[in-house]
Structure 1
């Protein structure tokens, strides 16, 4: 409430908030204290050292900031919610917590020096750190988590490929009009559904096609190179895409990977063409429809699935490919084709080379439906670096994308190795709000520096436990 008295205004207290006096003379107080977890995870997984080796050639003079450390600081900043290189100031201005952090011009010079060869070395460094992180996870948590479908575990690893448009609001190299009549880039990604790690990404111009076979193969091969040998060979790997990945070249490549002792299968969306519409109509009259299942294995209301194998021409598909259709009552606002409007049901078709006897069609359909989670991964990724590219130069933006993928991995490793319960599954926004952005005091005694978190902060114990687990992580020899 504001009252006016003799030409002045006076604010009356109308609530129960305590009165405060604000000054800028606090000592030993730090913000974003939880982000120190991310920096330390980069250390204990060997990422900082590996980045240093990968970028050693970019050091220009003695005493300059280690390029690997600069790259890690950028990744920590993005994982912590920063959007631009200038946000490094949050780390730089708290040297007592984060140590010396490079200036903005130094960070720019680093990114501008990352060419194609250096980018390849950064990816190799990420793979080395991932191998160590997975070994630590095996020793402390028993191994990688399993993804589930219809209440059942999905064996092995599940890789999801998907592309997304990133808008650019200024003229940047290779930013072009997109198929959605917007302007920007059209990067392609591969995420590991088991752990939410960002295995690979390819920055592409905006007009790049959604179903470009060569790009899908490039991203898939880069993702497989990120998986440690002990998991890449001998572990079932399911590769999921939407209909953009349903190309003869990609499916043939996935099948050929078996010749390299990589146990790959695919589950891809299929565009509904006239032959498929005829197969659906035939199944409607003569097929056996069974209830579709939700993620928990319970019947999905108003949804049914049927197998179309043998009814759909399989020309161009690898031998043994099966086709499964789901029909479902459309939700309000759903975009329907003319065929769906006439039938009064929404139809979606998938193709998979999972042979009979390895799960009912309800399970296979629910397993494929889990591919939709990649959209959440990309949405969170746009909030963790690759939703905004800093430069007009394409090569710098490609390096920025690699750093952003690294930040996503740091978040995933922190949750897998150090957190439990809700926080272990939280999206980055919630994790930042509860843990990473917490304020604390730094005190020194007996030659030790203590980070003191507010006693009554609801997640103080979770943060202390995470730091204790971090200190106790094994350093296995790989």
Structure 2
């Protein structure tokens, strides 16, 4: 038995789908040739986390696999890579992520998995986006950390997940005292998430938000989507179960529509 044998498969899969190549191009700088390819460093971080790592220093756990994966960066190089990533225009990084995701979705056996709502299997062409914010505890003073509404201390990030695949499409780091129903944050993170969806899958979207998203500004933003193509269908979260089902698109219907709840 080898403790981290599975990490080799994770790393090789990342290479295969372009998760190593696309970040390398996004972080490339004219006249600068790094000793460690930045895309490989970022994939090594992800591989380390999958293997159970909790700190940058845990990158050393991959060092015994260098004969298979190549040289592993030192913790200092990893920190420099993260600093460079923070300084890289966000659009370049987002474009690199979207390109790799489009390739992965194109390789999915059987196409995009169908999401399920209230024991109902949704159409396979419907992409379900879940928006939610959560509390992350900081155990010491950190940049942007603040007191939360739960009387803890830390951050209050907001993210958008694709229910079909379980992927985190976009996230915004926010101070702990950021509001749960700040519509501007909802619309911003949704805009970033939709940009991560391959164009061929953007024709039919279902946006699910809990009570924190129940604001006129967010509902108006979803409604305005019809001005650029899709139509937003809105419902109150306290509607009965049969009403929720009736509003869900049936097979062959609502082509090109986006539903927001």
Give the TM-score taking structure 2 as reference length.
0.87
What is residue 136 of structure 1 aligned with on the other side?
A: 107
Q: In 2, distance between residues paired with 1:183 and 1:143?
A: 42
- Look up the SS of the partner of 2:59 in the other structure: helix
Q: Which of 37, 59, 64 is the equivalent residue of 1:93?
A: 64
Q: Does 1:173 align with 2:152?
A: no
Q: In 2, distance between residues paired with 1:31 and 1:81?
A: 11
CA offset digits 1:109-159 (Å, max 9, x no partner): 11122236433322211100010011111xxx1211111234322231110
What is residue 198 of structure 2 aligned with on the other side?
A: 228
Q: In 1, distance between residues paired with 2:244 and 2:236?
A: 15
Name the CA shift for 1:266/1:116 in 2 (closer, same or farther; >3 Å).
Answer: farther
Name the CA shift for 1:127/1:151 in 2 (closer, same or farther; >3 Å).
Answer: same
Q: In 2, distance between residues paired with 1:76 and 1:210?
A: 32
Q: In 2, distance between residues paired with 1:365 and 1:264?
A: 11
TM-superposed CA distance for 1:71, in Å, is 1.1
What is residue 219 of structure 1 aligned with on the other side?
A: 189
1:186–1:206 CA contact under 8 A, matched in 2: yes
Q: Which of 136, 148, 152 is the equivalent residue of 2:120?
A: 152
Q: Does 1:186 align with 2:101?
A: no
Q: Which of 201, 207, 232 is the equivalent residue of 1:239?
A: 207
What is residue 44 of structure 1 aligned with on the other side?
A: 16
Q: Which of 67, 91, 102 is the equivalent residue of 1:120?
A: 91
Q: Does 1:32 align with 2:43?
A: no
Q: Does 1:250 align with 2:218?
A: yes
Alignment of 1:8-27 (within 5 A): none
- Look up the SS of the partner of 1:56 in the other structure: coil
Name the CA shift for 1:266/1:84 in 2 (closer, same or farther; >3 Å).
Answer: farther
CA offset digits 1:37-58 (Å, max 9, x no partner): 2212211111211000011129
TM-superposed CA distance for 1:99, in Å, is 1.8
Name the CA shift for 1:240/1:178 in 2 (closer, same or farther; >3 Å).
Answer: same
Q: Does 1:66 align with 2:34?
A: no
1:237–1:263 CA contact under 8 A, matched in 2: no
Q: In 2, distance between residues paired with 1:150 and 1:183?
A: 35
CA offset digits 1:306-350 (Å, max 9, x no partner): xxxxxxxxxxxxxxxxx6147xxxxxxxxxxxxxxxxxxxxxxxx
Aligned residues: 247
Q: In 2, distance between residues paired with 1:104 and 1:77?
A: 12
Name the CA shift for 1:107/1:88 in 2 (closer, same or farther; >3 Å).
Answer: same
1:200–1:223 CA contact under 8 A, matched in 2: yes
Q: Does 1:324 align with 2:244?
A: no
Q: In 2, distance between residues paired with 1:160 and 1:55?
A: 30
Give the TM-score taking structure 1 as reference length.
0.49
1:242–1:268 CA contact under 8 A, matched in 2: no
Name the CA shift for 1:34/1:219 in 2 (closer, same or farther; >3 Å).
Answer: same
Name the CA shift for 1:112/1:325 in 2 (closer, same or farther; >3 Å).
Answer: same
Structure 1 unaligned spans of 5+:
1-28, 270-322, 327-359, 368-478
Q: Which moved more, 1:258-267 or 1:199-208?
A: 258-267
Q: Does 1:108 align with 2:76?
A: no
TM-superposed CA distance for 1:86, in Å, is 0.9
Name the CA shift for 1:87/1:267 in 2 (closer, same or farther; >3 Å).
Answer: farther
What is residue 282 of structure 1 aligned with on the other side?
A: none
Q: In 1, distance between residues paired with 2:90 and 2:30?
A: 12
CA RMSD of aligned residues (A): 2.3
Structure 2 unaligned spans of 5+:
250-261
